[in-house]
Structure 1
């Protein structure tokens, strides 16, 4: 019996029955499994290595692992980090060690490997080193963050991509044509446009696409004429509307996709691309992201990337946040979209953000510097007698409203420049004023003989 056969084949879902049996049967992963790629050559020669397969759901991680075992003539064992603990892992490893002693290799597929803790991950290390198992870990999360360095050092990481609409459509058509394992020979009819709708709704997940097709086929057959001599079932637009009504896009509220998408939103705002910004906002809201989180991030963008080039942006972000809190979803989402568009469209400056970071560096470098005496308050006679407030110049009484010769920094530091306005938005005017003031202060200090 092959790795792909089972006595209850008719009871298995379409996606399982149509699992590819050769590398040529796989759809997608054109880069990873190209004819002359290193991985493909390794698999076809049977010289497989331990690896981490990193990619979204339904991209072929399990199938590729099965094919590894098939091409290497090895036993295949699969466990899930969601369902197994350390005792189960040790048992599977002991069985693999026994087969290894008998001259048989084992491809051990660990699904959702990122859910194992460090101790559980470490349990595989000696077996990988001795060659007892060919370890294949599957994860939807970034291995750099979720897997320990010891395991990563013993495995190659292969990045798998979401399968394109075109490739999913190919897999769906194969299922429709295959009379042995698929839906062939059942008189099903479906148009190319409708097939593509299913492929699009699959959202990069071949398994999901085949499941949607199977549900649509069952509904179509249920509506057919059972007394007809030649039975034909048509997957109509009405059937597809039922099947695809509640589909959701791929989104993990705490995983890699989440952080990729918030990064895309932030960078689209920074790049002054309102169209991309509102697209990523809509994607995250559609995926179930907490709108309050998005409101907080938009407020951060107003501070970090717009800054004093347009001070109105911060107030607009806070107002949008407040509006959402008052209206809720879905009405309040429009306020978030509005502020995302405005933030992306208005003038940008990170000068205040950069100034604050520079000031923090000096705080760390110079430590606890004393406040200069002239800047200290002197509410008592004692404090006045020891020099608190001595030589302080009240700026409003000075020419131009600024006491130019007076420093605001600790003596050990000298005058510093952190804030350097850009020549965009309101900061054009701020830059002009500060350039004049800084030059005048330098001139006044020079005349007073101060460095």
Structure 2
């Protein structure tokens, strides 16, 4: 290990036994622990906040499975780099081991479609086992063909106890820190400033220690804030403020305050927040907080996402502002959000209920003879294109999940449903 390496690098775990947190993955019954135990390593994507150990896990998997390890960063790698490293991996796999080499790609969400396409054949043919790390939702950022070939594992933000364990381990095991008498009296400031990022926590901790010219050091919140006051920023797009500010942004829209929404939007833009991250939050808000009270909000939010993905900064700030103001000034309803939540809960409680016979498809003669679709009433054959019939399984018939909100559009929904379903929708 390089003596000049940052503390976080010097303390990087070399085995699952030394790994802190993510017990759902690395614990005795964790998915990754089981993969290593049986020697079957699938291609996978690690999705989680910065500093939660994605890169470390990739290294550990390669080491403990005895596989060659190749790494690329999506920030500075192109298609040619991907093809070159795949070719090297194929050759090393054939010469030295029967096990597939591991190709680790950091920040894979930054790869373009063509760059991701260049990985498909290697993954499909088994030339490499891909491990990608991303802080963004793979459903949005990874092409479907590649996503379908990978297992997605979520890494959670570190708990307070995990972060304190890392600090104590650093004091007890790091050769540089052992030269000093370090007393960890308070941790709140370090934990808050790190935003749950273990790498940032350890490197900030070392920065504080190096700033104190003494062999005996007591770490308190006051000392941490004093030593780091010139190094903190107003907006950390990978830390606690990232989540606090976007929360304030969405709550301002939900609360119909366009002035506050634009202010928090400006904070994110000035902090260098990813333009697509902001646009995705607007999309979610348009459905979750506005929904059918103003269906056009979702159309505008979707168009905003498409536009800013093409244009980028600085012009995207105008489009984001327009959308945020429109959403803030729209009538609000969370009826659709609550409806799907209620329906999912019933599915979890009742399991796979049978589709009623009259609603089943009948593409074959046998199915028709068994009564599939026999009693189905075709709505367009009846007055007002409606006929009273049950569409839910018998066990949950007459259940009501959607309860229209108290706004002009959904009042129309309520009247529509009451006029047709006289008893079922007696709101």
Taking structure 1 as the reference length, what is the TM-score of the superposition?
0.56
Structure 2 residue 203 is the aligned partner of structure 1 residue 211: yes
8 Å contact kept, 1:44–1:71: no
Could you tell me which of 180, 183, 186 is aligned with 1:189?
A: 183
8 Å contact kept, 1:28–1:163: yes
Aligned equivalent of 1:60: 53
Aligned equivalent of 2:108: 113
8 Å contact kept, 2:248–2:264: no
User: Helix, strand or coil for the counterpart of 2:13?
Assistant: coil
Q: Which structure 2 residues correspond to residues 8-407 of structure 1 after superposition, within 5 A?
A: 9-104=2-97, 105=99, 106-180=101-175, 183-191=177-185, 193=186, 195-220=187-212, 222=213, 224=214, 231-245=215-229, 246-247=232-233, 250-251=236-237, 261=247, 265=251, 269=255, 304=290
d(CA) in 1 for partners of 2:244 and 2:88? Answer: 38
8 Å contact kept, 2:189–2:221: no
Residue 285 of structure 1, CA deviation? 7.0
Cα distance change, pair 289–307 in 1 and its aligned pair in 2 (3 A): farther
d(CA) in 1 for partners of 2:142 and 2:405? Answer: 45
Taking structure 2 as the reference length, what is the TM-score of the superposition?
0.59
Cα distance change, pair 151–260 in 1 and its aligned pair in 2 (3 A): farther
d(CA) in 1 for partners of 2:11 and 2:119? Answer: 31
8 Å contact kept, 1:108–1:134: yes
d(CA) in 1 for partners of 2:92 and 2:194? Answer: 39
d(CA) in 1 for partners of 2:292 and 2:57? Answer: 47
Cα distance change, pair 137–248 in 1 and its aligned pair in 2 (3 A): farther
- Which of the two has higher C-alpha Rg? 1
User: Helix, strand or coil for the counterpart of 1:114?
Assistant: helix
8 Å contact kept, 1:111–1:138: yes
8 Å contact kept, 1:261–1:280: no
8 Å contact kept, 2:245–2:268: no
Residue 260 of structure 1, CA deviation? 7.3
Residue 247 of structure 1, CA deviation? 4.6
Cα distance change, pair 88–350 in 1 and its aligned pair in 2 (3 A): closer
Residue 269 of structure 1, CA deviation? 4.3
d(CA) in 2 for partners of 1:60 and 1:188? Answer: 25
Cα distance change, pair 282–53 in 1 and its aligned pair in 2 (3 A): farther
d(CA) in 1 for partners of 2:244 and 2:219? Answer: 35
d(CA) in 2 for partners of 1:183 and 1:284? Answer: 41
d(CA) in 2 for partners of 1:169 and 1:282? Answer: 35
Residue 262 of structure 1, CA deviation? 7.5
Q: How many residues align?
A: 305
